[in-house]
Chain A
């Protein structure tokens, strides 16, 4: 039996050589673009933050160049964002394919669901007001070389969390004014909100003093540091205590941002312009009045004194007095009438703020 083994051997050797060349070429073409950086991550852009109504999105643009002859398929990213006490994000995203000999910018979007954080942190809402460092576990999966190579990479790092309300402070100086049977305390405030927010938000609620309650409401622009004035509105019946009694005011309100109502409490020390006011007529016929200007503003006072006897005005006196903030007024003055009086009405009006305070002293 003549098998011509030499010929068969030669043909088979050539066949094996061709197969080898094929495999070598396939592997070489896969490795070469990676080795010469023809296939590489070209650029990782700046993270853009934005709010879509439900989620705070951290958008990381990643530009990938695939200079090879094989497509990069099934690009999947998975991220877990957590801190020591809770998991805030656990989601994945399919970024599709990158065709061979192409450059594509994929947007890796890490969504932080505010509703989830809201429910998780109710009623403290820590991350609505405080910075934090989150732990990020980032996983990238992709297929290469006609899906024969599966690539998985895991990255562990930290992400700085930017809270929704970065700063909220009630400032000085405050003012007081009377309008339409109400008394208003005007307090400047600064609110700094996260840069990923846009539009306007509201802050409203109630303010509790030692005397009773009032209310407030303000609107502010989101996404930057905003400076505005908060009007604390009280019924005019509370004017006396607000003018004459320095006290702590407790603001208990809600910030409404994009459908979320987040409670915010703040205390504010209100300095009364006529703190500890005392008006009295001494037995020696001397009028004595005393007060401390605890307010943030100077007082340009017009003080009128009306002296009555049996309901008849006997004398009307008016004087001006400038009282710097922090000053104490402690004045004794003789009543400038010869006949006896049974009532003194003292009216104090501040030209700067416009408040009027009236005190009736029966002798």
Chain B
């Protein structure tokens, strides 16, 4: 049952982290060639490469319990952080279409989204502590 749940979550995460961004980028590039500049496309490619280990580490976290689950989720969250920074172009995006060059600068928005990811970091730790508590182990030795 736990494995089945992990597989379903992995498929959902693969769609979110790899499928949707890849689909959108492919669609934009085929309909509007040259809209996204090379640097941004390169960063997106890197983000896609990060998508696979993110799904893998989340799968690990979902499949196991205890310390393995915590470490797996923490690594996955770190990768999600890097993925977010790359996908959002480190707070700046350049778009060029026909004669118009567009620059979007959004460090504040990036910071809010990054905070949204960072806020998740205590979750696996707290989950691990709850697991320890549930299994009769305490964090401090008596």
Contacts and interface: CB of A to CB of B under 8 A. Distances in A.
A9 B128 CA distance: 9
Q: Which of B100, B105, B123, B126 has the most chain A CB atoms inside 10 A of its CB? A: B126
B133 A5 contact: yes
A154 interface: yes
Interface stretch (A18-26, A102-110, A253-261, A331-339): A18-26
A90 to B, nearest CB: 19
Contacts of A27: 109, 113
A153 B99 contact: no
B112 A1 contact: no
Contacts of A148: 106, 108-109, 112
Contacts of B122: 12, 16
Interface string A1-34: 1011110111011001001100100110000000
A100 interface: no
Nearest to A154: B101
B132 interface: yes
Given A23-B113, A27-B113, A151 B127 contact: no
A27 B113 CA distance: 9
B120 interface: yes
Interface in B69-120: 99-106, 108-109, 112-113, 115-116, 119-120
A149 B130 contact: no
A10 B126 CA distance: 9
B99 A3 contact: no
A9 B112 contact: no
B46 to A, nearest CB: 22
Nearest to B100: A155
B129 interface: yes
A116 interface: no
A26 B139 CA distance: 38
Contacts of B105: 149-152
B38 interface: no
Contacts of A23: 112-113, 115-116
Interface in A149-178: 149-157
A55 interface: no
Nearest to A8: B126
A277 interface: no
How many chain A residues sit at the interface, stated as a range, is 20 to 34
Contacts of B113: 23, 27
A19 B116 contact: yes
B135 to A, nearest CB: 11
B24 to A, nearest CB: 11
A20 B118 CA distance: 11
Interface residues of B, number: 28
B132 A12 contact: no
Contact of A16 (B112, B123, B134, B139): B123
Contacts of A3: 129, 133, 139
A157 B99 contact: yes
Given A5-B129, A19-B116, A13 B109 contact: no
A149 B110 CA distance: 9
A152 B93 CA distance: 10
Contact of B104 (A12, A20, A149): A149
A26 B115 CA distance: 14
A191 interface: no
Contacts of B26: none
A150 B107 CA distance: 9
Nearest to A13: B123
Interface in A22-75: 23, 26-27
Nearest to A20: B116
Given A3-B129, A5-B133, A19-B116, A12 B123 contact: yes
Interface in A234-265: none
Nearest to B140: A1
A153 B133 contact: no
A319 B99 CA distance: 77
B29 interface: no
A114 B103 CA distance: 33
Nearest to B138: A1
- Top 5 nearest A-B pairs by Cβ distance? A148-B108, A9-B126, A5-B129, A6-B130, A150-B105
30 contacts: A3-B139, A5-B126, A5-B133, A8-B126, A8-B130, A9-B127, A12-B122, A12-B126, A13-B126, A16-B119, A16-B122, A19-B116, A20-B116, A20-B119, A20-B120, A26-B112, A27-B113, A145-B106, A147-B108, A149-B105, A150-B105, A151-B104, A151-B105, A152-B103, A153-B101, A153-B103, A154-B102, A155-B100, A156-B99, A157-B99
